[in-house]
Amino acid sequence: MRILKRKTLGLQRSLCLLSVALATFTGQTSWAQSPAAGAASTAPPIEDFFRLPQYFGGELSPDGQWLAVIASPEGRRTQLIVVNLRDLKSARALVTMDDSDIHQVHWVNNKRLVFDIAQLQEATDKPTARGLWAVDRDGGDFRQLVNARSSVPNTNMEGGSRLANSRLKERSETLLPWTWRLQDVVRDGSADVILRQNNYDGNGEFSSASLARINTYSAQKQQLVDDAPAHVHHWLTDSAGKAVGAITQEKDKIALYLARKEGSGWQLWRRAPRVEEGIPRWLDISSTGEIYMVGAGKSPGAGEALLLLDPKKPQQELQELLRIKDYDFRGELVLDEKSGRLLGAHFEAETQDSVWLDPAMKALQAEVDQAMRSTVNQILCRDCLNSDLVVVKSHSDRQPMAFSIYDRQNKSLKTILLSRPWIKPGAMAARENVRIPARDGLMLPTLVTRPKSSQPLPTVVLVHGGPFSRGNHWEWSAIPQYLASRGYLVIETDFRGSEGYGSSFERAGWKQWGTGMVDDVVDTTRWAVAKGYADAARICIAGGSYGGYASMMALIRYPETFKCGINWVGVSDLALLYTSLNSDQGALGLSYDMPIMVGDPKADGEMLKQNSPLQQAARLKQPLLMAYGAIDRRVPMEHGVKMRDALQASGNKQVEWVLYPEEGHGWRGPETHKDFWGRVERFLGRQMAAQ
């Protein structure tokens, strides 16, 4: 690890050069795109799509004067940089790591920051936890607070002395163990943060979480809750660092507790089965104590709404503040830090969006949108009503994220950071949101990424993982844009079971892994053929994790629709989800959630067998590319090995196999991305060449 003092590492020069990159917002550069193989010769290289963004994250200091972002210099680990919004030339890089990447950054106060780490760009089997470090914005008073490994990593300070390094090693002996992680910062101007410790039982199962307040200079720790309810999984803390809410999980029950008004003990507020519809969840708390939650409110089956709980009157019905038609509320709130008043919210519906309750903020959003008409624009501010400068994060389906500064006094906008300056938006494919009826009438949210062509195109149907998560997001996305750059139409469907569209839509996917959920994907594929978008003779299905499983089941059940398939880290045997000794599935999920949502191993044994690609391998005749990570614990590689062997035993000689020894559930290493997506490109080129 290095502390980078009084150095900009070329950042000032790169910031100045960004004004040149502004042309990419409206540039109409395009590649000569022909279907499939012909497009690849003029398209950008694989690395342009799958490398880390040059800048990501982005958090304002409490006074709104500094922006902390994570930078990714080419060929190096990520760096923490801070940008003075009033003096861009003073932007500086503070910290870089030798063997890991800075992951998430938070301001503790106007002077102090904390960050954790991850492996974002290295295929490695080294176990690494998040850890936690603190540093002043001028690079001073750096220290590690939480260990990221069981042994102390090699630590170096650029320009530091042996004495400094020795002191760091002495401090490391008192580090909190890796089981601690950041819960929240204390928003009282102090240098303190709230940490949570994940506690585990003798079997390695998560049992509860405890809280402590720690000073980021002295590392002095104070336990926060002495009388916590049993089996707390989630905490809610207020701006003063006090625990005010707790969610417990024990067997098949969830309970929500509120701190008693007299300041001692906890009162039970709600208790329900784990999978009951619309159990409200903590979202945020204002400086004056109002608690904001997300839940069904008065409309079970519809999308979850933004709700308000008055902790002084917990017996009263929750007040519904915001409901989005056809969508669950998923987003974050903008609260005035002085008055505690709710100013607005950022959320995702068909696209990212914002709603403002305050007239001044509503007018500001209109000004920004007028200045940047082709992008979705999110305003970042702290003292929102009084700051003359705000940061704007902007993106579209073809424009990767960009950071700009908007001056409210002279109404000027200046773009300062482009996340992917090498991407030419004018050359990217448009991505269209549509809703397509399934065979039973359920409307399926679908994203269609279309290269410019008047002819039906070879098509890749891309199935998202999860599967009980939202897969579609209207934004620049690496995989569909990469495939479109090679001349392919890309179809992405949020099939039944996907989160974000109301509990009725999500529950429609229970016990439908290989049936209704796959049927939905097929129905949207047939729609694309009927519209003249997709070439019916050249359609391949692809996906990772659940998407890999669904791709194999679609090849088995609909051989007339799909010419080939691509499966990376996909489930092959539903029974193995419950029995694999290498899996990271927790006991609660295996015992209570999966039997309801996927199927009960005993009562639904025959259904699970019929919907397992491994058990139906003899029916899969099409070409299939398979890729797995050897250290994957979410879908252990035995899923892939057994499926590969079963296909070969059944006589399928069109199976391509690759195993990445130091990858897990998804790819991290740039060399892995380049190898895998190169294989995908060559595989598709062979299988979908024009007849």
Tell me: cis bond preceding 445? Omega within 30 of 0 counts.
Answer: no
How many Cβ atoms sit within 10 Å of the Cβ of residue 287?
Answer: 17
d(CA 513, CA 599): 9
pLDDT value for 123: 83
Q: Are 631 and 663 in contact (CB under 8 A)?
A: yes
Beta partners for 197? 180, 210
Q: What residues have CB less than 8 Å from 46, skipping those under 6 apart?
A: 482, 673, 674, 677, 678, 681
Tell me the percentage of the chain whose pLDDT exceeds 70.
89
* Alpha-carbon distances of 74 from 44, 88, 91, 98, 143, rounded to whole Å: 17, 22, 19, 14, 26
Q: Are 405 and 411 in contact (CB under 8 A)?
A: no
Q: Are 329 and 305 in contact (CB under 8 A)?
A: yes
**Secondary element (H or E) of residue 248:** strand 243-250
pLDDT value for 298: 75
pLDDT value for 473: 97
pLDDT bin (cut points 50, 70, 90) of residue 361 is: very high
Torsion, Cα 359 364 369 370, to 10 degrees, reads: 100
Kindly provide the b/e burial profile for residues 402-433, where b requires at least 16 CB atoms within 10 angstroms of the residue's own CB.
Answer: bbbbbebeeeebbbbbbbbbbbbbebbbebee
The token pair at 325 is 């038609």
Q: Are 121 and 102 in contact (CB under 8 A)?
A: no
pLDDT value for 224: 94
pLDDT bin (cut points 50, 70, 90) of residue 33 is: very low
> Cα-atom radius of gyration of the chain, to the nearest Å?
26
Kindly provide the b/e burial profile for residues 466-494, where b requires at least 16 CB atoms within 10 angstroms of the residue's own CB.
Answer: bbeebbbbbbbbbbbbbbbbbbbbbbbbb
d(CA 567, CA 551): 7
Which of 133-147, 246-260, 291-305, 621-635 shows the lowest per-residue confidence on average (mean pLDDT)?
291-305
Q: Are 379 and 394 in contact (CB under 8 A)?
A: no
Q: What is the mean pLDDT of residues 427-434?
A: 97
Which amino acid is present at 543? G
Is pLDDT at 121 greater than 60 in this prediction? yes
Is pLDDT at 690 greater than 70 in this prediction? no
pLDDT value for 39: 54
Which amino acid is present at 508? A
Domains of the chain: 429-687 (3.40.50.1820)
Q: Are 185 and 194 in contact (CB under 8 A)?
A: yes
Is pLDDT at 29 greater than 60 in this prediction? no
* Alpha-carbon distances of 623 from 349, 515, 656, rounded to whole Å: 37, 22, 8
pLDDT value for 403: 98
Q: Which of 394, 409, 403, 301 is nearest to 346 (CA)?
A: 394
Helix (H, G, I), strand (E, B) or coil at 591: helix
- DSSP E strands: which ranges in 419-533? 430-437, 443-450, 457-463, 489-493
Phi, psi of 521 (to 5 degrees): -65, -40
Q: What is the mean pLDDT of residues 212-226?
A: 95
- Max Cα separation, the chain? 77
Tell me the percentage of the chain whose pLDDT exceeds 90.
78
Helix (H, G, I), strand (E, B) or coil at 61: coil
pLDDT value for 528: 98
Q: What is the pTM of this model?
A: 0.91
